[in-house]
Structure 1
Amino acid sequence: MDRTRFFVRVAAIYALIGAFMGSHMAGGGGLQLSAIHAHILVVGWLSLFAFGIYYKVFKIPKDSKLAKAHVWTSFFGVFGLTVGMWLYYTQPIDGLSAFNTVFFIVGGTILLVAFALFAIMTFLYGKFISEDA
């Protein structure tokens, strides 16, 4: 799997969703979804894009199990956090408030694990992270 391509493409989808939400909120005059909009843009667009650039700039081994875990926890964590946040705040289906809360918490926790894996990776593969050619 090309980690850079994957992250940049998924980030572009989140950027489109976030921009659409922002446009919709501005046009409608309501800011009820602003926290969700902000998280979609920050963790969905900016973080995933930054991770993609990280894998492009620094030559992290393609067979790294840590990098593979980072990619998938990032993907599922962003999805879980943003969709869970939307479910939690909008409650679109009556009677699912416990499910919505758990979805939100689990998504956020998976994303936290992804950021922890990223931090570990920057130290484990530190020899690849340098200004020297």
Structure 2
Amino acid sequence: MDRTRFLVKTSAVYAFIGAFIGSHMAGGGGLELSAIHAHILVVGWLSLFAFAMFYKVFPIPKESKLALVHVWGSFIGVFGLTLGMWLYYTNPIPGLETFNTVFFIVGGTILLIAFAVFLVIAFKHGKYISED
């Protein structure tokens, strides 16, 4: 799997969704989705794009299992957090409040774990991170 390509393409999807929600809010005059809009852009677009650039700039071994866990954890975590947040705040299907809350929490937890794995990668593979 090409980590950089996967993360850049995924971040582009989130950039579009975030921009679409922002334009919808601006056109409709309501700010009800502002927290969701912000999280989609920050964790979906910016974080995934930053991770892609990290893998492009620094030669983290392609066979790194930590990197694999990080990339997939980031992908699943961003999806779970942002969709869970939307479900939690909009409650589109009455009666699923507990499910929505759990979905939101699990997505956020997976993303937090992915960030922790990134921290480990930065220190474990620190010899590859250099200005040289």
TM-score, structure 2 length as denominator? 1.00
Q: Which amino acid aligns with 2:55?
A: Y
Confirm or deny that 1:107 pairs with 2:107. Answer: yes
Cα displacement (A) at 1:17: 0.2
Confirm or deny that 1:17 pairs with 2:9. Answer: no
Which blocks of at least 5 consecutive residues in structure 2 are unaligned?
A: none
In 2: Cα distance, 1:102 partner to 1:72 partner = 20
Matches within 5 A, 1:28-67: 28-67=28-67
In 2: Cα distance, 1:75 partner to 1:67 partner = 12
Q: 3-state DSSP class of the match of 2:107?
A: helix
In 1: Cα distance, 2:120 partner to 2:23 partner = 37
Q: Which residue is 1:73 aligned to?
A: 73
Aligned length: 132
Q: 3-state DSSP class of the match of 2:130?
A: coil
Question: Which runs of 4 or more aligned residues in structure 1 lie more than 4 Å from their structure 2 counterparts after TM superposition?
Answer: none
Q: Which amino acid aligns with 2:48?
A: L
Q: Which amino acid aligns with 2:5?
A: R
TM-score, structure 1 length as denominator? 0.99
Q: Deviations over 1:49-92 (max 9, x none)?
A: 00000000000000000000000000000000000000000000
Provide the alpha-carbon RMSD of the alignment. 0.3
Q: Which residue is 1:2 aligned to?
A: 2
Which blocks of at least 5 consecutive residues in structure 1 are unaligned?
A: none
Q: Which residue is 1:119 aligned to?
A: 119
Question: Percent identity of the aligned residues?
Answer: 77
In 2: Cα distance, 1:61 partner to 1:79 partner = 26
Cα displacement (A) at 1:28: 0.2
